[in-house]
C-alpha cells in the first residue's frame, strides 16, 4: 500500500495528512475528517452528490484522488453555513422544499452557489445548465430551480456570502 503526505486546506483549516494512493477525495473528506455532507452516490461522477470546491472550481470528489488535493484548498458544504446560520442558498432550498430525501442536496447547493458566482440572476435555462451533472431522484427539479431563482433575487450581486463557490463544469441535468 502506497501512501502520500499531503498539505491541504480544508474549509479554511490547513492540514497535513497521510493518504492511501487509492483513496478518493470524497472518501478522505468523509472517513478521515468526518465531513459527511459530501455524499457518495454513484462513485463515477454521474450523480453530483459529492460536489465540492477544489481551488475555486467545483469537482466531483469521487473522481479526484485525495493525493491530488496536495497544495490545494477544499471547500465542502459544511463551510457554507457560518456561526450556526444557514447559507442563503441552504435557506432557500429549505423554504422552497427543494429537498426531499436530501441525498443530492449538498452537491446541488455547491453547484448552485457556483452558478451564482458567474450569473447573479440566472434564467431558468441557465440554472438547468449550471446544475448539469447533479441528479435528483425525488423532487423533479422544479423546486430546486425555484430555490436557486429565489436565492439569486434575494442576494445582492457579488455578495461573497451567497456566491462563495466557484463555477461548475457543465455535465448533465435532465428536466
Share of the chain above pLDDT 90, in %: 81
Which range, of 85-89, 91-95, 151-155, 160-164, averages the lowest pLDDT? 160-164
Dump pLDDT digits (tens) for 45-64: 999 999 999 999 999 999 99
Dump pLDDT digits (tens) for 13-24: 999 999 999 999
- How would you classify residue 16: left for phi > 0, otherwise alpha for psi between -120 and 50, otherwise beta? beta
Q: What pLDDT band is residue 165 in, cutting at 50, 70 and 90? A: very low
pLDDT at 169 over 70: no
- Of 54 and 175, the one with more pLDDT: 54
pLDDT at 110 over 60: yes
Q: What is the mean pLDDT of residues 76-85?
A: 94
Q: What is the mean pLDDT of residues 110-119?
A: 95
Q: Which residues of 57-78 are buried (b: 16+ CB within 10 A; e: fewer)?
A: ebbbbbbbbbbbbeebebbbbb
Average pLDDT over the chain, rounded to whole?
88
Phi, psi of 61 (to 5 degrees): -70, -15
Specify the pLDDT at position 155: 66
pTM: 0.85
Q: How far apart are CA 155 and CA 169, in angstroms?
A: 23
Amino acid at each position: 500500500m502506497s501512501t502520500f503526505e499531503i498539505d491541504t486546506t480544508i474549509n479554511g483549516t490547513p492540514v497535513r495528512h497521510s493518504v492511501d494512493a487509492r483513496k478518493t477525495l470524497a472518501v478522505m473528506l468523509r472517513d478521515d475528517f468526518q465531513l459527511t455532507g459530501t455524499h457518495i452516490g454513484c462513485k463515477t461522477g454521474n450523480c453530483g452528490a459529492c460536489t465540492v470546491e477544489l481551488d475555486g472550481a467545483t469537482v466531483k470528489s469521487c473522481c479526484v484522488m485525495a493525493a491530488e488535493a496536495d497544495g490545494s484548498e477544499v471547500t465542502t458544504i459544511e463551510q457554507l453555513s457560518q456561526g450556526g446560520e444557514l447559507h442563503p442558498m441552504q435557506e432557500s432550498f429549505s423554504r422552497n422544499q427543494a429537498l426531499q430525501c436530501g441525498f443530492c442536496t449538498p452537491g446541488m447547493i455547491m453547484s448552485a452557489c457556483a452558478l451564482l458566482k458567474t450569473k447573479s440572476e440566472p434564467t431558468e435555462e441557465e440554472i438547468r445548465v449550471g446544475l448539469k451533472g447533479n441528479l435528483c431522484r425525488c423532487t423533479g427539479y422544479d423546486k430546486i430551480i425555484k430555490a436557486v431563482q429565489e436565492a439569486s433575487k434575494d442576494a445582492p450581486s457579488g455578495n461573497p456570502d451567497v456566491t462563495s463557490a466557484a463555477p461548475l463544469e457543465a455535465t448533465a441535468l435532465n428536466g
